[in-house]
């Protein structure tokens, strides 16, 4: 039985995870992609999977302002089980940069207290190793999956995914009946995510010497006026809540975060002639993307009508609509059963606050869910880890769903 194989051979699963972490696929700018694709492709071929590479053309990289780093390589690996339906499982191999406060080398995975520490362990190289090891277990046990299996290993999720998994979906390279990617863990399955809009607000003033500030226009003060207006708007935004299920009750609400990256000014004795800040707006499935954008720009325009010296520019840096996958289908039914068999407890669905690449297929009506190895990403900061037990359990869950889904 594949459960027994995974438990007995878990040292190989841990070793594969550490090998993946050791390749510093940091994005931006997106480096060492060739190296990690070579490792994964070699592993897939040794499992008997058929592989194909899809390299994103330079024109598309330019369109999405992707500069420097490696070629954007999307790897597909397939197991033809001669079944009627296809299950696609995605994993992105890029990671965010490592901060300065790591207690260990972030790219030399360390095992301590039954955890594996390393950049990319939780997001999401451990998922890649769990899926590959699940297939290895089935192969070693002589068991054929209920669906044809298609795996994708993709870049650039950390910078929007348009030149990674989004490229594969847009080009029709992947068009499965069901799909799984990263998401929640333990007893929770994600079945969608909030929408997001990132804004950059540039405020234009007029410089002068600080000894005579009345001769200029202080962009910093004007920026604060905009921020105060948006804070008042945020009182209304943060009161909105979704009817969909969530893991943490605080994720039930709409959010808007002001700041992000703030810049401006030149020196202490010069009135600031330009300032900028960013906005991260996460909105609910019940909200409309266009309305969300209009609400922000409208609040600033109202302020500008009252203050003729207020000059500004609003740029939308990124936007993604919210998505929710229906859970009344074979994928969710079988995955919940797999979770129960492995973890001995029921699984619940929840909408994620963050966004994942799987949204590309949800928009096309494909039943999709997210599930990941349990650990801590610490909000894209330091000392990221996964629990070894969860790594092993997740490999078992993946093996179980691959075998049982029809």
Considering the domain 195-320, what is its CATH architecture? 2-Layer Sandwich (3.30)
- What does the pLDDT look like over 123-168, one tens digit per residue? 999 999 999 999 999 999 999 999 999 999 999 999 889 999 999 9
CA distances from residue 281 to 141, 198, 237, 315 in whole angstroms, order as listed = 48, 6, 10, 13
Q: How confident is the model at residue 381 (pLDDT cuts 50, 70, 90)?
A: low
Between CA 328 and CA 369 the distance in angstroms is: 12
Residues 64-67: contacts with CB within 8 Å, 24+ apart? 64/160, 64/162, 64/163, 66/30, 66/156, 66/159, 66/163, 67/29
CA atoms within 13 A of residue 126's CA, in its CB half-sphere: 33
What is the third-level CATH fold of 2-193+322-404? Aminopeptidase (3.40.630)
pTM of the model: 0.93
Provide CATH 3.40.630.10 ranges for the chain. Answer: 2-193+322-404
Provide CATH 3.30.70.360 ranges for the chain. Answer: 195-320
| Cβ atoms < 10 Å from Cβ of 108 | 12
- As separate numbers, helices (DSSP H) first and strands (DSSP E) second, the chain gives 11, 17
Helix (H) or strand (E) holding 260: strand 255-264
| Cβ atoms < 10 Å from Cβ of 13 | 24
Give the rounded percent of residues in the chain with a pLDDT score beyond 70.
Answer: 99
Average pLDDT score over residue span 250-256: 97
Least confident piece of the model among 11-15, 57-61, 255-259, 351-355: 351-355
Contact 181, 358 (CB under 8 A): yes
Between CA 370 and CA 253 the distance in angstroms is: 21
């Amino acid at each position: 039985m594949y459960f027994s194989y995974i438990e007995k051979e878990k040292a190989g699963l841990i070793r594969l995870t550490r090998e993946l972490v050791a390749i510093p696929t940091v994005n931006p700018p997106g480096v060492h992609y060739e190296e990690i694709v070579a490792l994964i492709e070699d592993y897939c071929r040794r499992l008997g999977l058929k592989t194909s590479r899809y390299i994103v053309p330079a024109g598309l990289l330019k369109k999405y302002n992707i500069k420097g780093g490696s070629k954007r390589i999307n790897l597909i690996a397939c197991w033809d089980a001669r079944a009627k339906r296809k299950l696609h499982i995605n994993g992105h191999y890029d990671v965010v940069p490592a901060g300065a406060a790591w207690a260990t080398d972030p790219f030399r995975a360390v095992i301590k207290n039954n955890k594996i520490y390393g950049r990319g362990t939780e997001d999401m190289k451990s998922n890649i190793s769990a899926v590959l090891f699940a297939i290895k277990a089935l192969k070693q046990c002589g068991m054929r999956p209920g669906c044809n299996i298609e795996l994708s290993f993709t870049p650039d999720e950390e910078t929007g995914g348009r030149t990674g998994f989004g490229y594969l979906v847009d080009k029709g390279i992947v068009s499965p009946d069901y799909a799984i990617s990263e998401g929640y863990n333990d007893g929770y399955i994600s079945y969608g995510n909030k929408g997001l809009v990132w804004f950059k607000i540039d405020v234009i003033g007029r410089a002068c010497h600080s000894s005579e500030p009345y001769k200029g226009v202080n962009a910093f003060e004007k920026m604060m006026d905009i921020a105060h207006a948006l804070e008042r708007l945020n009182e209304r935004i943060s009161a909105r809540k979704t009817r969909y299920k969530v893991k943490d009750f605080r994720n039930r609400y709409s959010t808007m975060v002001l700041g992000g990256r703030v810049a401006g000014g030149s020196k202490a004795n010069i009135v600031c002639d330009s300032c900028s800040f960013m906005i991260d707006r996460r909105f609910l499935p019940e909200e409309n993307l266009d309305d969300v954008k209009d609400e922000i720009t409208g609040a600033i325009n109202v302020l500008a009508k009252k203050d003729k010296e207020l000059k500004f520019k609003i740029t939308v840096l990124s936007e993604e609509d919210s998505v929710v996958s229906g859970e009344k289908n074979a994928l969710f039914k079988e995955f919940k059963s797999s979770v129960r068999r492995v973890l001995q407890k029921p699984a619940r669905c929840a909408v994620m606050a963050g966004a994942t690449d799987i949204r590309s297929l949800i928009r096309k009506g494909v039943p999709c869910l997210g599930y990941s190895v349990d650990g801590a990403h610490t909000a894209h900061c330091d000392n990221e880890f996964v629990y070894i037990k969860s790594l092993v359990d997740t490999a078992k869950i993946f093996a179980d769903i691959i075998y049982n889904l029809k």
